[in-house]
């Protein structure tokens, strides 16, 4: 008979540790059990970080990509995609605007390409840092020597989603790449002094509950500083364009599992939840999240950053209202981590 999740069960597991079967139970919990898990996840978050959350600003500055991930509209093999890149001065002006609005973490994101150049990115990082902001990168796999260049310029954190811990599925979804290579790159980032962030894309066709459990175990093995889950939404013009979306309710259970299992990791409330659920990002906070990302990619190009189609763009007002609705106080990343 299936074990029933109760408050006592959660308390006991928080003391003794969650095993593989326990994580599976969390991911397959019914709605009443899920409410208990969300409540426990909030308690764990509040004990680790206080009742606080921070806002970071992302700019997606280039969308040319040398990879052909099956789920992504910017894949090399999508000839219809319009390719753009944003220049240094425009990026700096956006960073200044974010700073003036009280945001202290600037998130530079791009598809995986050498088109902008390592030295160019170094100068952007250095100038954003000079404004008084922390710089976070999500730019894929590059030369190892670039890592030192960017780290010395002031980038302190690097996000590389592992997408799925299922080897076969990974290789099918990211042709030409291996899960081992991805994990090795995350370890390399750590060796070069970066805080690291990773996580899965939940709802990929063929993904199983057991592989999501493997995702949780991998995040712990990597000792990530930030763990994130996005829910799969099909992108037009890709081999997966007619596949169903992932299940955001399962995504919320995954957030609670990350919080209970990993405890003191930063967890963003990603925009895919808002796109799929009413008050989706508020519900992420209620399941244990403590970060939200405002999209500051210029309007003229942001619809061309097609990680999925018909994206929900998080604005500053929405982010602040969501934090407040969740009963949290806005802070900065620096203050949150100094707790
Ligand atoms: S997911 Fe990233 S690496 Fe893969 S095709 Fe899209 S932009 Fe390129």
DSSP per residue, 281-304: HHHHHHTT--EEEEE-S-HHHHTT
Contact (Cβ atoms closer than 8 angstroms) between residue 57 and residue 104: no
Q: Is the pLDDT of residue 54 over 70?
A: yes
Q: Measured at the alpha carbon of residue 248, what is the angle toward residues 18 and 58, in degrees to the nearest 5?
A: 95
Kindly tell me the sign of the dihedral angle through the C-alpha atoms of 185, 188, 190, 194.
negative
* 75 Cβ below 6 A of ligand 1: yes
Which residue out of 78, 111, 114, 307 has the highest number of ligand 1 atoms within 8 Å of its CB and is therefore the one to mutate? Answer: 111
The confidence band for 240, taking pLDDT boundaries of 50, 70 and 90, is very high
* 112 Cβ below 6 A of ligand 1: yes
Beta-bridge mates of residue 177: none
Report the half-sphere exposure of 177 (CA within 13 A, side-chain side): 22
Q: What is the pLDDT of residues 194-225, one digit of tens each?
A: 999 999 999 999 999 999 999 999 999 999 99
Q: Is the pLDDT of residue 79 over 80?
A: no
Q: Is the pLDDT of residue 183 over 90?
A: yes
How much of the chain exceeds pLDDT 90, in percent? 88
The strand ranges marked E within the chain are: 52-62, 105-110, 134-138, 155-159, 195-198, 201-202, 226-227, 230-231, 291-295, 329-331
The confidence band for 241, taking pLDDT boundaries of 50, 70 and 90, is very high
pLDDT given at position 78: 74
* 160 Cβ below 6 A of ligand 1: no
Q: Give the pLDDT mean for 233-244.
A: 94
CA distance 70 to 285: 30
CA distance 48 to 339: 8
CA distance 55 to 150: 23
Q: What is the pLDDT of residues 309-323, one digit of tens each?
A: 889 999 999 999 999
Domains of the chain, earliest start first: 7-337 (3.20.20.70)
The confidence band for 49, taking pLDDT boundaries of 50, 70 and 90, is very high
Distance from the CA of 41 to the center of ligand 1, in angstroms?
31
Distance from the CA of 142 to the center of ligand 1, in angstroms?
13
Q: Give the pLDDT mean for 237-252.
A: 96
CA distance 143 to 22: 39
The confidence band for 84, taking pLDDT boundaries of 50, 70 and 90, is confident
pLDDT given at position 115: 74
Q: Whole-structure pTM over 0.95, yes or no?
A: yes
Q: Give the pLDDT mean for 264-289.
A: 98
Distance from the CA of 110 to the center of ligand 1, in angstroms?
9
């Amino acid at each position: 008979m299936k074990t029933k999740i109760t408050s006592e069960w959660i308390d006991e597991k928080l003391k003794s540790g969650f095993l593989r079967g326990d994580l599976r139970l969390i991911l397959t919990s019914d709605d009443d059990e899920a409410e208990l898990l969300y409540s426990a996840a909030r308690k764990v978050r509040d004990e680790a970080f206080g009742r606080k959350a921070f806002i970071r600003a992302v700019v997606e500055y280039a969308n040319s990509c040398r990879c052909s991930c099956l789920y992504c509209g910017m894949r090399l093999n999508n000839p219809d995609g319009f390719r753009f890149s944003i220049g240094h001065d425009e990026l700096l002006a956006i960073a200044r605007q974010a700073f003036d609005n009280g945001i202290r973490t600037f998130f530079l994101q791009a598809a995986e390409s050498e088109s902008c150049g390592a030295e160019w990115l170094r100068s952007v990082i250095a100038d954003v840092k000079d404004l008084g902001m922390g710089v976070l990168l999500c730019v894929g796999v590059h030369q190892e020597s670039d890592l030192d260049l960017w780290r010395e310029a002031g980038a302190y954190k690097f996000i590389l989603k592992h997408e799925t811990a299922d080897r076969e599925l990974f290789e099918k979804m990211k042709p030409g790449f291996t899960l081992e290579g991805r994990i090795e790159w995350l370890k390399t980032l750590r060796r070069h002094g970066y805080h690291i962030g990773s996580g899965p894309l939940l709802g990929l066709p063929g993904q199983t509950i057991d592989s999501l459990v493997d995702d949780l175990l991998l995040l712990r093995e990597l000792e990530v500083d930030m763990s994130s889950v996005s829910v799969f939404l099909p992108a037009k013009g890709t081999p997966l364009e007619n596949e169903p979306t992932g299940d955001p309710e399962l995504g919320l259970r995954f957030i609670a599992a990350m919080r209970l299992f990993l405890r003191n990791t930063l967890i963003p409330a990603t925009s895919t939840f808002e796109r799929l659920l009413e008050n989706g990002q508020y519900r992420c906070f209620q399941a244990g999240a403590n970060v939200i990302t405002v999209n500051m990619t210029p309007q003229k190009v942001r619809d061309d950053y097609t990680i999925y189609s018909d994206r929900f763009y998080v604005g500053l007002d929405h982010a602040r209202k969501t934090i407040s609705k969740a009963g949290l106080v806005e802070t900065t990343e620096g203050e949150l981590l100094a707790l």
